[in-house]
A and B are shown apart, each in its own frame.
Chain A
């Protein structure tokens, strides 16, 4: 057989397999971002769709009508960077608390007897499969002034009047931590499970006490998993809309919610596009780090 012909047949076969996902991803994932970027430079108009084309071709010639108006709006109005700063801060704080809750949980699952490990793991990720919206809704019923927690505390006599627990930043943190906890536990579990138990035994054998073993062996070796978990929580949390909308009240603007309002309430598509562009620009670095981390972890697993 002719090896060159073989190789070209092989290449053709690969091309066929790759074509569909490539086309789909470029058309429905990559191209839309280019469009968002373009429209963020266009002018809003009162029409459908509510933005002017960037390039206007008329009898007088080609007219470029790009504008930085939407970006200037973002700079001039406090609302945008307060919302952006809020989003980053709330997402970061929630991520850290998620890590503090998720780490012992993941460690406990890994250290549990082998027979119950997969059951415990399934229990930890089960909420991730149920509706996100429903889980946020569950907290609304818990946190309201007339809600279950307040009623219980008053019945116990611990408080005399309801404590404000909803429509503030506290509720948003809680909602994010609750909703994203499984995303933290999974990569942590994967990283902790991969650590050879013999390493801990070797450390004990060499004289390290349990706390030292954790600090010197378990913790450093689980860092890639912790980093992956943090990014998996932080990145989507920054753009979160549902949680601040349902639990945050009017005083906790977050950037995802502002984008939603610009788009649906104000019908200002260029402004929404500009917000999306800025948000993406902020998140590009963590997304790239996340991808590299994933690639590195996958490489190690090979």
Chain B
């Protein structure tokens, strides 16, 4: 079993024994015959910040709503903190949701919004007041308790929605694209805040997002969804470095894909003949591959190195004409047209200021990559 890589952020709850915070068993839901979630099975441990990542329409929001109880599954079970909650209505489930639209009650003050869930638990007045104040302080909104939602900025509304859901101290907090409505600067700042709040409270977070950077930078683990199915679950670096399929490789980050046929596979090194006739590729690969199998080789653009002279033998080489250059400040992206007609994407970190004389459009550029930079994909 893999272990979490983010010890300090996962909080003390993670080490506690007992049932996982959430378990989904073969959960399915379709709308008018079209599957939105199909056979979803996963386990989220206590204190995790777990992301559901996928393009829009992949079913991730439906999955979240199934967990919250806002949709009824066609099949499968939802087990929260060891208790089967499949048939319970949303108001009996120990989970709370931060809605994408925030869904703040427009006719109640900020404090009234936060107190709403607590009132449903019939807590005492004094206790509600204290908890509301604590929550407002947690999200750094102590001075706006009496304002109405329409008097707040987008970022403030997001925090109120977060405070409102956290106030009930849920077993699992569900966040549906919580940062989608914020501009980029604010989004990055809020990402850090969310991680801090999660660490401080130790509550399990499940985050729905279509933004891979957000999922990568925030999560302990990610479930990648496509076409109603969960296609891979793993830590961010697993998803990035060892994608389970072309689909995941392509969705998470950028990738150069070459299809080919396995010629040989011995002592972890696979030799693959590229289908476009550009030669043989060597990839260090963990499992055994049958000669003759159809596979794809995936190499991340930043693993391609510019240069003519590979330091060791056995590396993969190539060259191409520079067709496009995009300068991003911290790095530059090149598109090369290979002699075989393929497009190769290559990124170069701009480590020094204007130091290196880089190739221009139309020039020919050589590159190489080491056998352990690539991944062999069988599907």
Contact = CB atoms under 8 A, between A and B. Distances in A.
B103 A199 contact: yes
A152 interface: no
A207 B117 contact: yes
B107 A206 contact: no
Given A201-B103, A202-B97, A217-B105, A208 B116 contact: yes
B97 A209 contact: no
A212 interface: yes
A196 interface: yes
Contacts of A203: 105, 116
Interface stretch (B88-96, B137-145, B242-250, B332-340): B88-96
Contacts of A198: 99, 101, 103
A207 B121 contact: yes
B120 interface: yes
B168 interface: yes
Contact of B116 (A196, A201, A206, A221): A206
A221 B105 CA distance: 9
Contact of B106 (A201, A205, A221): A221
B99 A202 contact: yes
A204 interface: yes
Nearest to B96: A205
Contact of A209 (B68, B91, B95, B105): B91
B66 to A, nearest CB: 13
Nearest to A220: B107
Contact of A205 (B70, B101, B104, B107): B70
A164 B152 CA distance: 60
B89 A204 contact: yes
B166 to A, nearest CB: 11
Contacts of B165: 205-206
A199 B106 CA distance: 9
Nearest to B68: A205
A77 B99 CA distance: 64
Contacts of A217: 105
Given A202-B97, A212-B120, A216-B116, A207 B91 contact: yes
Interface string A170-209: 0000000000000000000000000010110111111111
A212 B116 CA distance: 11
B107 A204 contact: no
B221 interface: no
Contacts of A204: 69-70, 89-91
Nearest to B107: A220
Nearest to A208: B120
Nearest to A200: B103
A282 B287 CA distance: 89
Given A199-B106, A206-B96, A217-B105, 8 more contacts: A196-B101, A201-B68, A201-B97, A201-B99, A205-B68, A205-B165, A206-B120, A208-B91
24 contacts: A198-B99, A199-B105, A201-B90, A201-B103, A202-B97, A202-B99, A202-B103, A202-B104, A202-B105, A204-B90, A205-B90, A205-B95, A206-B96, A206-B164, A207-B91, A207-B92, A207-B117, A207-B120, A207-B121, A207-B168, A208-B91, A209-B91, A217-B105, A221-B107
Interface of B: 68-70, 89-92, 95-97, 99, 101, 103-107, 116-117, 120-121, 164-165, 168
Interface of A: 196, 198-199, 201-209, 212, 216-217, 220-221
